[in-house]
Structure 1
Amino acid sequence: MLELLMQWYRRRFSDPEAIALLVILLAGFVILFFFNGLLAPLLVAIVLAYLLEWPTIRLERIGCSRRWATTIVLVLFVGILLLLALVVMPIAWQQGINLIRDMPGMLNQLMSYAATLPRRFPALMDVGIVDVVAENMRSRMLTLGDSVVKYSLASLVGLLTLSVYLVLVPLMVFFLVKDKEQMLNAVRRVLPRNRGLAGQVWKEMNQQITNYIRGKVFEMIVVSIATWIGFVLFGLNYSLLLAVLVGFSVLIPYIGIFVVTFPVVGVALFQFGLSTEFWSVFAVYLVIQALDGNLLVPVLFSEAVNLHPLVIILSVVIFGGLWGFWGVFFAIPLATLIKAVVHAWPDGPVVEE
């Protein structure tokens, strides 16, 4: 048994470049695992830098210097964010407040309907079960209200941190985009010398991450706008808030869509009941999700969709548990990284003694 392990070790770790790649991966894992909270602003800046690199390169090709191209792109990007913050977010926020205010009425209507189930289906439902479920839901609603109050108080403490981030992140994005080559050269100087294999994996992953971030942002925008238009056409309440939630749900493959379906169905059911309007809204929602999953995602993520759905779900669970939101956001690129490392890892000849 020991001899088999030694042969496996010689096959897999006889190449110095493989050792260098392993050291780089372990160092990156340790840094992210222990310092992900401190590095959150830097991670946000890196994501935005990847997003803004493409228009910056396009401006450079028409004659702008790197500094001016970065400045123009960043100013336009901040302007778009301010427009969204001043126009879209206040409406979505107000709709969220209205939804929270209407939730007790929605719960009472649901309980009234559930109370009729034992009479309509005596063989399937029991009055005691309905009462227990109703009481459980009421207690959870009270707990949710307390959590909202506590979160609101905690958010007041975090306003100062948020304001600092609003200043630091744009500055970091500017320097990450403007001085990209200088920073990459600085990182290369501290990496191991035998990093040819790591460079091969990095080249592949750099393109994967670039395409993934741009694709995710584009997918979020398209899904949000399409969902909002569909909900508005049928007069669904809280249409903008629900469209924003559906757009953000694409960040979590499979799981996000499953979770966000509950508020969409709940609001539509509360407003329309089991009427033609409800089934029409639900059908439009399913059509948008089908077009997203079967048309938009394969076009935007032609490489990533080669991963098995079970691998994607496990990646979301594992990396989300390790790094929270960023683990969920980068679950597919990280799974693709592992796949690229496994394929690129040298498989040396068996050494016979």
Structure 2
Amino acid sequence: MAIKEYPFYLKTTVVLFGLILLVYVLAQLEDILVPLAFAGFLSVLLNPLANRFQKMGLSHFLAIMLAILVAALGVAGVFYFLSSQIAGFGESLPMLKEKFGVITHDLKALIAQTFNVPVAKQERMISDALNNSQTLLGGALGGLLGVLSVVFLLPVYIFLLMYYKTLILNFLYEVFAEENSKKVGEVLKETKGAIQSYIVGLLIELIIVAALNSAALLLLGVKYALLIGVIGAILNLIPYLGGIIAIALPVLMATVTKDGYTTQLGVLGAYIAIQFIDNNILVPRIVSSKVQINALISIIVVLLGNMLWGVSGMFLSIPFIAVIKIVFDRINSLKPWGKLLGDTIPTKHMGQIWSKPKKEAVGIK
């Protein structure tokens, strides 16, 4: 019986509506899927530690609980450090606010003199911009509440995913035909390795970048160098966009606390050098080499992740697209999409290869 071939425009329309429906479902189920996605990645990361505890004689339950406790203590240590630094920052906040007000007043006067825009009109424009940004602030608050819900749900999800790991793996094997079990095993193995090496690489990169940022700011005499350096390293985890935002913090602090522009120029030079080291040495060698996503796709998926799930979506976008690439590379019909996501650039495009004239066959007389 012949299989009916549908027109291209009809298949494209069906695929488009399917994608729209998928995005709608993902957006509506954000509060459930975001903590579940983070828990999935973190449970893969903590699984080797739980296995090691289990080999030491602990039960499956206790091994998982101890692995989660170790991770929680590490996160608590980071938050304790940041809170102690923020407490000192809060004491200087009135002085910084006063200095910032003086700088803002001088800047308004300079704009009025240079561009002939009255101060009153500038203040009215700022007021209008603040009023129009209420929706954005509401979205940011919603994003913050979403992050808090992730924090509270994460331990529960991580424990359950690790506890039922064997059940989930058996389901993934059984849901596909037996002849595909080898491919399923390869996809699961590569996915686990990519997630583990990617997250561990990010943590190592975070520590190194935080140390470099803090050292540079301390040498330049910027106040609260440790706090700003660590926050900048955390923002740097957002691919391509976080590093740009991180530069603004020390520049603003130097502007408020110091006279002249020497320190600001020093901060810009130091951060550009750190970004160069990060992008050309740390990321290629420390962050997972298995997550080979090209820069164009990385920027696009980070922006799409922000539109879909906010800050959480920006963090999840790269490992998520890396998992999709691993699956695409294992399915023949989807291999072109896997190549599109990757960072391997071919020397010639297929049109040049296909358009080469074939050599004429030499006939035998």
Instruction: Give the TM-score taking structure 1 as reference length.
Output: 0.71
CA 1:74 to 1:27, structure 2 compared with 1: closer, same or farther past 3 Å?
A: farther
Match of residue 340 from structure 2: none
Q: Where does residue 82 of structure 1 map in the other structure?
A: 76
2:159 is the alignment partner of 1:170 = no
Q: Note the alpha carbon deviations across 1:102-145, whole angstroms, 9 max, x for none.
A: 356425414414534676xxxxx422288755653465568889
Alignment partners' CA distance in 2, 1:96 and 1:144: 25
1:216 aligned partner: 202
3-state SS, counterpart of residue 37 of structure 1: helix
Name the counterpart of 1:136: 125
How far, CA to CA, are the matches of 1:291 and 1:130 in structure 2?
Answer: 43
Following superposition, the deviation at residue 312 of structure 1 comes to 1.0
Could you tell me the percent identity over the aligned residues?
A: 24
The offset of 1:149, in angstroms, is 11
Q: Deviations over 1:219-278 (max 9, x none)?
A: 223322332233234332233442233122123211111122222212212222334433
In structure 1, what is the Cα distance between the partners aligned to 2:285 and 2:59?
A: 33
Contact 2:209 2:274 in 1 (8 A): yes
| Alignment-derived partner of residue 55 in structure 1 | 49
The RMSD of aligned alpha carbons is: 4.4
Q: Identify if the C-alpha distance between structure 1 residues 272 and 208 changes in structure 2 by more than 3 Å, giving closer, same or farther.
A: same
Q: Which amino acid in 2 is paired with 1:185?
A: N
Task: Determine whether 1:193 maps to 2:177.
Answer: yes
Tell me the equivalent position of 2:85: 91
Question: C-alpha deviations, 1:184-238, integer Å up to 9, x for none?
Answer: 324555x343654555444333322222222223322332233223323433223
TM-score by length of 2: 0.69
Tell me, in whole angstroms, the C-alpha distance in 2 between the residues paired with 1:183 and 1:146: 41
Change (3 A) 1:301 1:273: same
Contact kept? 1:99, 1:238, Cα under 8 Å? no
Q: Which residue of 1 aligns with 2:166?
A: 181
The whole-number CA distance in structure 2 between the counterparts of 1:302 and 1:165 is 25
SS in structure 1 at match of 2:32: coil
For the structure 1 residues 48 and 109, does the alpha-carbon distance in structure 2 shift closer, same or farther, using more than 3 Å as the test?
A: same
Secondary structure in 1 matching 2:253: helix
Query: CA separation of 1:255/1:145 partners in 2, compared to 1, >3 Å: closer, same or farther?
Result: same
Q: Which amino acid aligns with 1:172?
A: Y
Q: Residue 38 of structure 1 aligns to a residue in which SS?
A: helix
Secondary structure at the residue paired with 1:280? helix
Gap change, CA 1:131 and 1:262, over 3 Å in 2: farther
**Residues 192, 296 of structure 1: alpha-carbon distance in 2 compared, 3 angstrom cutoff:** same
Is the 8 Å Cα contact of residues 251 and 328 (structure 1) preserved in structure 2?
no
Amino acid paired to 2:177: R
2:206, 2:233 within 8 Å by CA — same for their partners in 1?
yes
The total of aligned residue pairs comes to 321
Question: Offset at 1:90?
Answer: 4.2
Task: Name stretches of at least 5 consecutive residues in structure 1 with no aligned partner.
Answer: 10-24, 120-124, 349-353
